[in-house]
Amino acid sequence: MYDQLAIELNEQNLQQVIEQSMQTPVVISFWAPSMPETAEVNQILEKLAASYQGQVTLATLNCEAQPMVAGQFGVRSLPTVAVFKNGQPVDGAAGPQTEQSLAEILAKHLPSREELALKSALEQVDNQQYNEALPVLRELAAKFAQNSVINLAIAECLLGTSQFDEAETLLATIPMQDQDAKYKGLMAKLELHQQASDSPAIRQLEEELAAEPDNRDIAFELAVQYSQVERAEEALELLIKLLRKDINFADGAAKKSMMDILAALGQGNAVASKYRRQLYSLLY
């Protein structure tokens, strides 16, 4: 009944399971089939353990089938729950339990849900899954203000999704004591982008557009140049202005350029979402 999420203890695997607590906490639920309330505790523990994403090992001991093993723990009443860390019992409870009481026991010895969410998001950042990680990190940043680990991860996501202005603003808030190798690497990436994105050709086009703000050909050429150096937001702003005036400008090339930029930014990108809505309002 519980073998999918919980290890069923017996004399053969007992020592091995206890030794697992050297790496991750082990929770043992002592139960008996003849006592339905003990099976309910198992079900609650399975639900809670699943939410910890592998950070805890759950084991159950059928005291009716394994009385000798149960005797080694000195269990006197059922249900009983015990928490093991580093091979030793560190916490537990006897008698009927609610989901809240069991959750409180586990919370004392396991990472919080926020810590688990951060761990998962940081793994996504390491795998360059920036659009997936960014909304989770933003939510965590709202809960943990001025957390440089979170803010540096957000900055990496922003750089990875071409949101350079926001990345620069965020990196400027990192305290001096947290400006480590990670911070310096992100700053170097930002500076390389800034150098590449301010070429003489782009400056020339910017000057020409400033002199002739209604010249659509110059605006389109500048938008293309911006997109090639990952200045996506500026490119999109120029393109949406062109499309508002002529949805098929440059024989549809402007619309295609905008759609290509949006596709490259991805579904989870905030800048892309903003301009995707504006484009769809013109198309539909």
Q: Helix 130-143 vs helix 148-160: angle between axes, to the nearest 10 degrees?
A: 150
Tens digits of residue pLDDT in 36-51: 999 999 999 999 999 8
Rounded Cα distance, 178 and 170, in Å: 13
**Could you check whether 113-196 and 200-283 share the same CATH topology?**
yes
Q: What pTM does this model have?
A: 0.60
For position 116, what pLDDT does the model report?
85
Query: What would the two tokens of residue 231 be?
Result: 């200045």
Domain segments of the chain: what residues?
Answer: 7-107, 113-196, 200-283
CATH of domain 200-283: 1.25.40.10
- What letter would DSSP give residue 176? G
For position 60, what pLDDT does the model report?
96
Q: Cis peptide before 96, with omega less than 30 degrees from 0?
A: no
Q: Give the CATH number of domain 113-196; options: 3.30.300.30, 3.40.470.10, 1.25.40.10, 1.10.1660.10.
A: 1.25.40.10
> What is the separation, in whole angstroms, between the first and last Cα of the chain?
54
For position 76, what pLDDT does the model report?
87
Q: Please say whether the beta carbons of 228 and 261 come within 8 A.
A: no
Fold designation for 7-107: Glutaredoxin (3.40.30)
For position 63, what pLDDT does the model report?
95
Q: Which helix (H) or strand (E) holds 156?
A: helix 148-160
Rounded Cα distance, 257 and 263, in Å: 10
Question: Residues in the chain with pLDDT < 50?
Answer: 1-4
Q: Please say whether the beta carbons of 79 and 41 come within 8 A.
A: yes
For position 129, what pLDDT does the model report?
94
For position 242, what pLDDT does the model report?
95
Report the candidate in 179, 161, 110, 117 with the shortest Cα–Cα distance to residue 143.
117
Tens digits of residue pLDDT in 129-179: 999 999 999 999 998 888 999 999 999 999 998 888 899 999 999 999 999
- What letter would DSSP give residue 60? E
